[in-house]
Amino acid sequence: MAIVAPLLGPPSAYGEVVSRFRWQVPALFNIGVACTDAHALVQPDRPALIEVGPDFSQSVVSYGELRAESNRLAQALVRAGIQPGDRVAIHLPQGRHVPIAHCAIYKIGAIAVPLAALFGADALAYRLQDSGSRLIITDAAGAAKTRPLLASTPALERVISIDGDDGAAIGLARFTKGCSGHFEPVATRADDPALMIYTSGTTGHPKGALHGHRVLLGHLPGVEMHHDFAPQPGDRFWTPADWAWAGGLLNILLPGLCLGIPVVAWPFQKFDPEAAFAMMARLDVRNAFIPPTGLRLMRSVRDPVSRFGMPLRSLGSGGEALGTPTFEWGREVLGLPINEFYGQTECNLVLSSSHAMGVARAGMIGRPVPGHAVAVIREDGTPCSVDEPGQIAIRRPDPVMFLGYWNKPEATEAKFIGDWMTTGDQGYRDADGYIGFVGRDDDLITSSGYRIGPVEIEDCLIKHPAVALAAVIGKPDPLRTEIVVAFLVLKPGFEAGEALAEEIRLFVRERLSAHEYPREVHFIPEMPLTTTGKIIRRELRQRLS
Which tens digits make up the pLDDT trace of 290-309? 988 889 889 989 999 999 99
The answer to the question of residue 258 being in a domain is: no
pLDDT per residue as tens digits for the range 465-508: 999 999 999 998 877 778 999 999 999 999 999 999 999 999 99
Percent of all residues in the chain with a pLDDT value above 90, rounded to a whole number: 79
Q: Which of 212, 233, 262 is the last residue of a domain?
A: 212
Structural element, H or E, at residue 138? strand 135-138
- C-alpha 247, offset from chain centre: 2
Of residues 208 and 452, more confidently modeled:
208
The pLDDT of residue 206 is 84
Tell me the helices (H) and strands (E) count for the chain, helix number first: 19, 27
The answer to the question of residue 460 being in a domain is: yes
Whole-number mean pLDDT of the chain? 93
The total of other beta-carbon atoms located within 10 Å of residue 107's CB is 27
**Mean pLDDT, rounded, for 224-251:** 96
The answer to the question of residue 322 being in a domain is: no
**Burial group, residue 538, by CB count within 10 angstroms (0-12, 13-18, 19+):** middle
Report the alpha-carbon distance of residue 9 to residue 467 in Å, rounded.
42
The pLDDT of residue 202 is 46
* pLDDT classification of 119: cutoffs 50, 70, 90: confident
The pLDDT of residue 499 is 94
Residue 508 sits in a domain whose CATH number is 3.30.300.30
The pLDDT of residue 441 is 73
Report the alpha-carbon distance of residue 252 to residue 48 in Å, rounded.
12
The pLDDT of residue 451 is 65
Check whether 448 has a pLDDT greater than 70.
no
Report the alpha-carbon distance of residue 345 to residue 415 in Å, rounded.
13
The pLDDT of residue 199 is 86
Q: What is the DSSP string of 121-135?
A: HHHHHHHHHHHT-SE
Residue 119 sits in a domain whose CATH number is 3.40.50.12780
Of residues 373 and 269, more confidently modeled:
373
**Mean pLDDT, rounded, for 208-226:** 98
**Burial group, residue 180, by CB count within 10 angstroms (0-12, 13-18, 19+):** exposed
The answer to the question of residue 221 being in a domain is: no
The total of other beta-carbon atoms located within 10 Å of residue 476's CB is 11
* pLDDT classification of 70: cutoffs 50, 70, 90: very high
Structural element, H or E, at residue 304? helix 304-308
- b/e 412-433 (16+ beta carbons within 10 angstroms → b): beebebeebbbbebbbbbeeee
| pTM for the whole structure | 0.87
The answer to the question of residue 495 being in a domain is: yes
The answer to the question of residue 48 being in a domain is: yes
Q: Which of 166, 186, 212 is the last residue of a domain?
A: 212
The pLDDT of residue 205 is 76
The answer to the question of residue 103 being in a domain is: yes
Report residue 285: phi and psi, to 5°. -70, 125
Q: Which of 182, 212, 242 is the last residue of a domain?
A: 212
Report the alpha-carbon distance of residue 500 to residue 264 in Å, rounded.
41
The total of other beta-carbon atoms located within 10 Å of residue 76's CB is 21
pLDDT per residue as tens digits for the range 182-192: 999 999 999 99
Report the alpha-carbon distance of residue 363 to residue 101 in Å, rounded.
39
* pLDDT classification of 320: cutoffs 50, 70, 90: confident
Check whether 447 has a pLDDT greater than 50.
yes
Q: Is the peptide bond before 262 cis (omega within 30 degrees of 0)?
A: no
Of residues 324 and 412, more confidently modeled:
412
Check whether 527 has a pLDDT greater than 80.
yes
pLDDT per residue as tens digits for the range 137-169: 999 999 999 999 998 999 999 999 999 998 889
Pick the closest to residue 191 from 410, 32, 30 (CA basis).
Answer: 30
The answer to the question of residue 301 being in a domain is: no
At 44, is the secondary structure helix, strand, or coil?
Answer: coil
Residues 139 and 161: beta-carbon distance below 8 Å: yes
Considering only 323-337, 432-446, 454-468, which range has the smallest mean pLDDT? 432-446
Please give the residue range of the domain that contains residue 199. 42-212
The pLDDT of residue 100 is 98
Residue 291 CB contacts under 8 Å (≥ 6 apart), including other chains: 240, 241, 247, 317, 318, 319, 320, 532, 533
**Mean pLDDT, rounded, for 403-411:** 96
Q: Where does 427-476 have alpha helices with state H?
A: 454-461
> Taking the CA atoms of the chain, what radius of gyration do you get in angstroms?
23
Instruction: Give the type of residue at 364.
Output: M
Return the DSSP state at 371.
T
**Mean pLDDT, rounded, for 13-34:** 96
As for how many domains the chain has, the answer is 2
Percent of all residues in the chain with a pLDDT value above 70, rounded to a whole number: 97
Considering only 19-28, 207-216, 249-258, 521-530, which range has the smallest mean pLDDT? 521-530
